[in-house]
Amino acid sequence: MQTQLTVLNNGLHVVSKKDETTGMFNIGVWCRCGSRFETPAQNGIAHFCEHMTFKGTTTRSELEINEQIADLGGKSNAWTDMDTTAFSIEVLNEDREAAIELLADILLNSTFTEANIDSERQVIFQEMYEDENDSDDCFNDAFSQLVYGSQPLGRDILGSRETLGKIGKPELDAWRQRCYCGENLILSAAGNFEHEELVRLAEKYFGKLPRGQKAVRLPQRYIGGFFPIKPEENNDDGGFRHIRPEESEVKFELGFDLLAGHPYYKREAKYLALQILGGEEVSRLNTEARIKRSLVYDISTSVVDETDVGFVGITAAAQAENINRILDVVIAEIKKLAAEPVSSRELERAKRQMIVALTKKAEDNEDSIEVSAEQLLNFGRLRSTEEQISRINAVSTDDVLAAAAAIFATTPSYLIQGRIADCYSYEQIKAKLR
């Protein structure tokens, strides 16, 4: 399965992966215009624009768009994250030109009418309401704000009711014109077709797209720490913010700077270190906290990596009386990983797990088109599966030790939710990590 790349005269990157074994065609367009490119006053406009793109074009109504996708037996999707807005369609391989034409139409010819803008704004308000009443969403949003503060990465992708209420047709039109241009777009497809055919169809349907200017990421940095509580609000919980205090279960997240792009260690080494710590069933955290001590049902390590900035988070939930014991296990394992080389068996197991996950993504066409787009967005080039596997296999125990030592020496972030009167304070956490 060969992946090929061509750049059109207008800057559009066209990526294809030929797969002769499939009867399906997957295609997506990734735009370098996620929420991190917004000013404070624009917060939410990238997601708002994504919603509006399916509301009708100069040639199709919203109903006609949906009917055509249904007639093809296909499925469509769209989403906005911090870095990108993306649109994808999956159809039978024989319907690939129809999918490309439809995708081009909704991206290039959408008509943002005042009526549709007002109605879709209400839809997003409802999304906000649902998020505000979901404890997990509240927790995740609070932790992002803790890690990044008032920077774009610390703001909600949906925006706020205040900012969204001030975004109208002129603002949406200007955003689309600036962001949806050749220099900002990557068209990525997988199926049983020739690369030359995809390039021809891209030229046919996207060739008139203006080149424009490539969006530049605003510099972001990890801040971390804790949310202080004003004395008049609460004076008894150790000096850090908690949310949903009525919940009997306690949930915490302990985070650190991922040091994305840091030259001190190989990028793959940090992922292997975190995989060993909490990324799978027999990880150190899961073994010590769940299997051996039965303190928690689930404990995991997650990575948020924007390539230039990011963080690692260690998350668990349990009854309040067990939280400090769990935190003691977490801190002990962090300190051990940052001070002692991992065993050869642990490292080889982590490598194998990463390679399996990488291979599965590469062989799944729906996943692979996203992988190709993200590689171009983040690294400026395609990286073969073989190259990535080689880089993983090249990581040594010393590399893992150096990565762990660097990450866990950074300022910790600490957020806790529920009834937490007897849980460790932020200062106690910092003292234990020394």
pLDDT band at 161; cut points 50, 70, 90? very high
pLDDT above 70 covers a percentage of the chain that reads 94
pLDDT of residue 264: 56
Residue 242 in this model has a pLDDT that exceeds 60: no
- pLDDT digit string, tens, across residues 245-264: 555 688 999 999 999 876 65
Token digits of residue 358? 């990488």
User: Is the pLDDT score of 183 beyond 50?
Assistant: yes
Rounded average pLDDT over 374-389: 90
SS (H, E, C) the chain: CCEEEEECCCCCEEEEEECCCCCEEEEEEEECCCHHHCCHHHCCHHHHHHHHCCCEECCCEHHHHHHHHHHCCCEEEEEECCCCEEEEEEEEHHHHHHHHHHHHHHHHCECCCHHHHHHHHHHHHHHHHHHHCCHHHHHHHHHHHHHHCCCHHHCCCCCCHHHHHCCCHHHHHHHHHHHCCHHHEEEEEEECCCHHHHHHHHHHHHCCCCCCCCCCCCCCCCCCECCCCCCCCCCCCCCCCEECCCCCEEEEEEEEECCCCCCCCCHHHHHHHHHHHHCCCCCHHHHHHHHHCCCCCCEEEEEEECCCCEEEEEEEEEEHHHHHHHHHHHHHHHHHHHHCCCCHHHHHHHHHHHHHHHHHHHHCHHHHHHHHHHHHHHHCCCCCHHHHHHHHHCCCHHHHHHHHHHHCCCCCEEEEECCCCCCCCHHHHHHHHC
pLDDT for the residue numbered 138: 86
- Could you read off the pLDDT of 83-134 as tens digits, one per residue? 999 999 999 999 999 999 999 999 999 999 999 999 999 999 999 999 888 8
Pairwise CA distance, residues 106 & 57, whole Å:
6
Q: 227: closest CA among 147, 157, 158, 302? A: 147
Residue 297: pLDDT over 70: yes
Residues making up the chain, counted from first to last: 434
Residue 73 has pLDDT above 50, yes or no: yes
Least confidently predicted of 82-86, 231-235, 423-427, 430-434: 231-235
Please tell me the predicted confidence (pLDDT) of residue 261: 73
Does the structure show a pLDDT above 90 at 233? no
Residue with tokens 């994250």: 81
pLDDT at 1: 64
What's the rounded Cα separation, in Å, for the pair 265 and 405?
10
For residue 77, the one-letter residue type is N
Determine the Cα–Cα distance for residues 410 and 260; give it in Å rounded to an integer. Answer: 12
pLDDT tens digits, one per residue of 348-364: 999 999 999 999 999 99
Q: CA-CA distances (angstroms) from residue 204 to 70, 104, 193?
A: 24, 10, 16
Tokens of 48: 């708002």
For residues 306-332, average pLDDT: 93
The answer for residues whose C-beta is within 8 angstroms of residue 261's C-beta and 6 or more apart is: 307, 308, 309
**Residue 283 pLDDT exceeds 90:** yes
Is the pLDDT score of 334 beyond 90?
A: yes
Q: Tell me the pTM.
A: 0.90
Least confident span in 179-188, 237-246, 257-266, 324-333: 237-246
Check residue 378 and give its pLDDT: 84
Query: How high is the pLDDT of residue 262?
Result: 65
Q: Rounded mean pLDDT of 277-305?
A: 91
Least confident of 57-61, 181-185, 378-382: 378-382
Contact in structure between 260 and 403 (CB atoms under 8 Å): no
Q: Which two tokens stand for residue 359?
A: 């291979």
Segment 385-412 mean pLDDT = 95
| Residue 40 pLDDT greater than 80, yes or no | yes
Structure tokens at 235: 């004076």
Domains in the chain: ranges and CATH: 3-206 (3.30.830.10), 242-433 (3.30.830.10)
Cα dihedral 207, 213, 214, 215 sign: negative
Q: Indicate the pairing of strand 413-417 with strand 249-257.
A: antiparallel
pLDDT average, residue stretch 306-335: 93
53 pLDDT more than 90: yes
Nearest to 275 by CA among 347, 187, 194, 171: 347
Q: What is the pLDDT of residues 415-426, one digit of tens each?
A: 988 877 788 989
- Percentage of the residues of the chain whose pLDDT score is greater than 90: 79
Q: For the CA atoms of the chain, what is the radius of gyration?
A: 23
Structural tokens at position 130: 């649902």
Average pLDDT, the chain: 91
Confidence of residue 239 (pLDDT cuts 50, 70, 90): very low
